[in-house]
Amino acid sequence: MKIVIIGTNHAGIAAANTLLDKYPGHEIVMIDRNSNMSYLGCGTALWVGRQIDQPHELFYARPEDFEAKGATVLTETEVSAIDFQKKQVQATSKTGEALVENYDKLILAMGSRPIIPKILGNELDGIHFLKLFQEGQAVDEEFAKESVKRIAVIGAGYIGTEIAEAAKRRGKEVLLFDAEATSLASYYDEDFAKGMDENLAKQGIELHFGEIAQEFKGTNGRVSQIVTNKDSYDVDMVINCIGFTANSALASDQLETLRNGAIKVDKHQQTSDPDVYAVGDVASIYSNALQDFTYIALASNAVRSGIVAGHNIGGQPLESAGVQGSNGISIFGYNMTSTGFSVKAAEKFGLDVSYTDFEDKQKAWFLHEDNDTVKIRIVYEKESRRIVGAQLASYSEIIAGNINMFSLAIQEQKTIDELALLDLFFLPHFNSPYNYMTVAALNAK
Ligand SMILES: Cc1cc2nc3c(=O)[nH]c(=O)nc-3n(C[C@H](O)[C@H](O)[C@H](O)COP(=O)(O)OP(=O)(O)OC[C@H]3O[C@@H](n4cnc5c(N)ncnc54)[C@H](O)[C@@H]3O)c2cc1C
Ligand SMILES: NC(=O)C1=CN([C@@H]2O[C@H](COP(=O)(O)OP(=O)(O)OC[C@H]3O[C@@H](n4cnc5c(N)ncnc54)[C@H](O)[C@@H]3O)[C@@H](O)[C@H]2O)C=CC1
């Protein structure tokens, strides 16, 4: 069987490795328009902010790794069309040569692209996005310029907040804008996001929330001012981070999609064409909190969905367990993690939810050093009492792993009452006998 994979980043790589390692004997052709593969964008801010010295360790796979296992890897080759009837992929190589690849099974792993704000002045120099390694390099080069002193970051989601920290670490003045009232509004309720806002403000980042960019103005072709619905600000550079959209144009007129263009898949990653699978950011994904398919762009989901597609195409039926969109962020030492829905997100999706909050020290009360406060919120459906979300925030790093337990609880449809008496270990170095997670659950109305 000949399997063609379009897109060789996290999702495409996971599918390719699964097929090559577990189901040998197939012809695998991997095509990507980029010159590199496997770049972990999560490391961009760490590198640009000089928390790590070099970007090379942010790559974990090379074309040679797949060629050594028998695959054909075509880099700098852009797919321009797919004929789903003839089962053919048309592409152009880096030398301009037209290529046609036939397939028995096709894996779409074209990922996502940043949303471009449709406002005047978009084309000016000094306006950046952060998705590819090359875009990280461009931002890094700008940060090195003495003339770039004041930076506007548009969108205080995950990428915006992380790059705001990086810019500050490089000695820049940073103005952080978001249409919402707080940072991280897609992931955390306001009471939680406020903790991050205070942390950002304490570090000298200028916060402009509830503000929408309406125009970029320039001087000699380079951005020099940003105009919002409230005011205008002189800046030397802009970084746009207002979210991702599925990069599905190659297939969205032929295959079924969600309203945002993500290619609809089932739990086997199969699209509306049985010979075509879609994985990662280009595809829909099943949310256990919502109990329906939705769109959640994360590297963790990309890897899992790639593995699932690989097994199904290889001949071993495997159903995805669904996801919770579990995520985390660490900014100037302040750590936040969440999974499933916040109260706000649950209500937006039509769920009738309640929540329980608790706050305590991370370690036992009699440890007075390095013992930070932890805030927790657990969100549950009122009628069924099933847990649909959790949020944690603290300067303590110990909180990080806890969110995974809530992820499993949501996946397994556990109720808030089942959590209340769960056996959690106790050791003073890490927690208290009255663990804040179970106390929050015990307090649930
Ligand atoms: C700055 C940043 C930080 C992030 N941090 C995190 C994090 O901490 N945790 C987390 O879980 N996620 C994080 N993400 C999100 C994560 O990177 C994405 O969810 C992930 O990259 C999706 O993987 P993918 O393989 O589905 O798609 P992509 O990474 O978008 O890869 C798609 C590939 O398809 C190729 N392609 C597209 N169209 C064509 C075509 N026509 N022809 C040939 N090739 C094509 C592209 O060149 C690309 O290589 C971050 C993203 C960014 C940008
Ligand atoms: N730690 C992690 O897990 C990370 C995950 N990612 C993922 O990568 C994807 C893209 O990240 P982001 O671009 O940061 O998206 P995001 O969805 O996290 O944040 C986008 C932000 O932009 C704001 N916004 C939207 N339109 C706006 C406008 N016109 N003006 C001002 N603000 C506006 C939104 O309110 C939101 O806060 C997401 O799916 C994210 O989850 C990215 C970085 C880190």
Is 129 near ligand 2, meaning CB less than 6 Å away?
Answer: no
Q: How far is CA 153 from CA 109, 140, 163, 211, 318, in A?
A: 28, 14, 8, 12, 41
Q: How far is residue 135's CA from residue 386's CA, in Å, rounded to a whole number?
A: 42
Q: How far is residue 279's CA from residue 26's CA, in Å, rounded to a whole number?
A: 19
Sign of CA dihedral 29, 35, 37, 42: negative
Q: Are 135 and 128 in contact (CB under 8 A)?
A: yes
* 311 part of the active site: no
CA of 277 to the centre of ligand 1 (A): 17
Question: For tokens 């046609």, what's the residue?
Answer: 100
CA of 190 to the centre of ligand 2 (A): 16
Residue 15 confidence (pLDDT): 98
Q: Among 33, 89, 94, 101, which residue has the most ligand 1 atoms within 8 Å of its CB, making it the best to mutate? A: 33
Local confidence pLDDT in tens for the 445 residues of the chain: 999 999 999 999 999 999 999 999 999 999 999 999 999 999 999 999 999 999 999 999 999 999 999 999 999 999 999 999 999 999 999 999 999 999 999 999 999 999 999 999 999 999 999 999 999 999 999 999 999 999 999 999 999 999 999 999 999 999 999 999 999 999 999 999 999 999 999 999 999 999 999 999 999 999 999 999 999 999 999 999 999 999 999 999 999 999 999 999 999 999 999 999 999 999 999 999 999 999 999 999 999 999 999 999 999 999 999 999 999 999 999 999 999 999 999 999 999 999 999 999 999 999 999 999 999 999 999 999 999 999 999 999 999 999 999 999 999 999 999 999 999 999 999 999 999 999 999 999 9
Catalytic residue among 10, 128, 208, 311: 10
**Tell me, what's the ipTM?**
0.97
Going by the DSSP 8-state scheme, the letter that residue 40 receives in this structure is -
Three-state secondary structure string covering 42-85: HHHHHHHCCCCCCCHHHECCCHHHHHCCCCEEECCCEEEEEECC
| Token code pair at residue 184 | 């991280």
| Token code pair at residue 56 | 């090379």
Q: How far is residue 315's CA from residue 69's CA, in Å, rounded to a whole number?
A: 19
* 42 part of the active site: yes
Question: Which residues are within 8 A (CB) of 364 and not within 5 positions of it... i.e. 6 or more apart?
Answer: 428, 429, 431, 432, 433
- Side by side, the strands of the sheet bearing 232-234 are 213-219, 222-228, 232-234
SS3 430: coil
Is 138 near ligand 2, meaning CB less than 6 Å away?
Answer: no
Tally of CA atoms within 13 A in the half-sphere of 122 that contains its CB? 7
Per residue in 11-62, pLDDT (tens digit) is: 999 999 999 999 999 999 999 999 999 999 999 999 999 999 999 999 999 9
Q: Are 417 and 349 in contact (CB under 8 A)?
A: no
Rg value, the chain, Cα: 23
DSSP 324-382: ---EEEEETTEEEEEEE--HHHHHHTT--EEEEEEEEESS-TT--SS--EEEEEEEEET
pTM greater than 0.80: yes
Residues in the chain: 445
Q: How far is residue 333's CA from residue 369's CA, in Å, rounded to a whole number?
A: 16
| Token code pair at residue 444 | 């649930």
Give the nearest ligand 2 atom to 281 CA. 39
Give the nearest ligand 2 atom to 185 CA. 37
